[in-house]
Chain A
């Protein structure tokens, strides 16, 4: 059993990065995630593990520092909140195009534009459908507790190196700002130069070797046919993710007639709503996607054969609901309930939405 503490989600992201052997963090402050860098600066991991913590001059600089560190085969991380992620999107697309690993944390706030500083989930499309340009996908993990803020940092690194693709932890201002009991991971040492060579030497820019071409980490390829081949490689990789990496949790779904689909803090709020609906005699259940990309389409499609309806609960105008509709493919009723702009839905509102839109609708 690891160390038990009461911590904010944002603080845990920082601690987990240090403990999983992260080599460098580059970031720029923005509410509601500034505690990530504050915690790192206060912890001074450069004295303990040699991890670099650097406040960049902007989000654009931070993501390009990520590109550099990742090109050298190192574990690099950044974090920001919605407007900052928009600034990073060009760099994220470049990393995906150059097949570089790395972890980007988005503690979402209300938008669009500068929006508010309160919690939101309105960046679902941005995280799962691109954000930057081109046919690429990120591995997207959605923690719903402070404990998962700890666990998913290491998992995101693991997946991102496994697929040579950037991974995003898509969370929100509630999970970032709330404190819960957390069992911190044990310390893993950072990779030595020899280990970087051993694990990532085949692709990383670690110096020209006699047995391979020099590594040039770029997303540029001027010959269209060659670029198409590269894209085919990406698509094969994404297909493998869809086959092997889908993660989700089901709560009280076994006998459920009505399923709420929700991620992050909305799944916690919805879990309470499920309990209330059950007390009222409605067989409700909760499906919580843990990976938003790859999306758990198959289980939703299977459930659609026997349930009477799905309600997507998201703090946005209705984004994930589109993926649910695609998965359900017309087999049963699908609707959406959400609050926008930084307003947090309450369990009571979710109960009402289920009653009016799905059960009675």
Chain B
């Protein structure tokens, strides 16, 4: 099994750290993983994306032109990556700020209103965990227990007190994901 994922949004949304937690979760269940960020003269508010691959075999290219899953968190990323999902693949998006929703008919499309849900919870920083929870509900690639272990590994010890609220974010995402088509 190999799953090739692109996660894309604004800088500051936690795109890179979501990818890192996913990659660490893969390691926790003995998978090969790669995490490659688009890096550049980028900053908060600019675009950020990361390619994450989880596989049972040695991973060839960390750089891809087609993906099994695209997780897109703003309109620019949707415009850029909708066409790059393999036929039959999955697209997950947050409708916040989306004017032109995805239009492809050969994909499984899901949405998660993570911006709204995080704001309602008064915890804007768990936005990315809500998205990750939603993704893992639709694509159970890694076990939740391994995500928790991944979180423990990727967060420095001084931030471990934040793990419970992050886990809550994952649960919200699992519960609130909506299948569009």
Contacts and interface: CB of A to CB of B under 8 A. Distances in A.
Interface of A: 4, 6, 32, 117-118, 173-174, 177-181, 265, 268-273, 275, 344-349
Given A268-B62, A344-B63, A177 B34 contact: no
Nearest to A8: B35
B108 interface: no
Given A32-B39, A346-B65, A347-B65, A181 B60 contact: no
Contacts, number: 73
A83 to B, nearest CB: 16
Interface in B102-138: none
B61 A272 contact: yes
Interface of B: 20, 23-24, 27, 32-37, 39-41, 59-66, 153-154
A174 B62 contact: yes
Contacts of A118: 39-40
B34 A269 contact: no
A6 B60 contact: no
B32 to A, nearest CB: 6
Contact of B36 (A6, A174, A271, A347): A174
Nearest to A116: B40
B108 to A, nearest CB: 23
B61 A269 contact: yes
- Please provide the 10 A-B residue pairs with the shortest distance between their CB atoms, ordered closest to farther: A346-B65, A271-B60, A272-B61, A179-B35, A178-B36, A272-B60, A269-B61, A348-B65, A268-B61, A180-B34
Nearest to A349: B65
Contacts of B154: 6
Contacts of A179: 20, 23, 33-36
14 contacts: A6-B33, A179-B20, A179-B33, A179-B34, A180-B34, A181-B32, A181-B33, A270-B61, A271-B60, A271-B61, A272-B64, A345-B63, A346-B65, A347-B60
Nearest to B31: A181
Contacts of B35: 6, 178-180
Nearest to B33: A181
